[in-house]
A = this chain, B = another copy of it.
Amino acid sequence: MKQSRNTAAKTKILTIIKDSEMALSRSEIQSVLNGLCDRITVYRVLNRLVCEGLVHKVITLDGGVNYAIGNTESCNHYHIHFSCQKCQSITCMNDIKPSFQLPENYKVNSINFTVSGLCPRCS
């Protein structure tokens, strides 16, 4: 395993994600960076952060990829993402676990559950 370094880009991007209440896309992050680094570097930093378990991906209803703070494992297991149709925000609802019953013979590894509607601010 490669040793990872704390570069300016990585630190800044991690801070941006940490300070955001909602999951952000690569381009949203990029626009806050004010040219601190290249587009490709943002992709690579995000991949590294996901690998290192500091950040996890959130897939939006239309297939967009967003990033939020937190470990992928704990995230994939039984928590809900809320997607507001008005303000477009994606929020991790860490405490809410859905329940469901699959037929036998299906082995569950992870789930991705996105609920779409109106958040408290917009409703």
Contacts and interface: CB of A to CB of B under 8 A. Distances in A.
A41 interface: no
A87 B86 CA distance: 36
Nearest to A105: B120
A113 B116 contact: no
B112 A61 contact: yes
Given A62-B59, A63-B64, A96 B107 contact: no
Interface of A: 59-65, 76, 80, 82, 85, 93, 96-103, 105-120, 123
Counted per complex, copies of this chain come to 2
Given A65-B63, A97-B100, A99-B98, A117 B113 contact: no
A101 B108 CA distance: 21
Contacts of A65: 63
A34 to B, nearest CB: 27
A123 B61 CA distance: 28
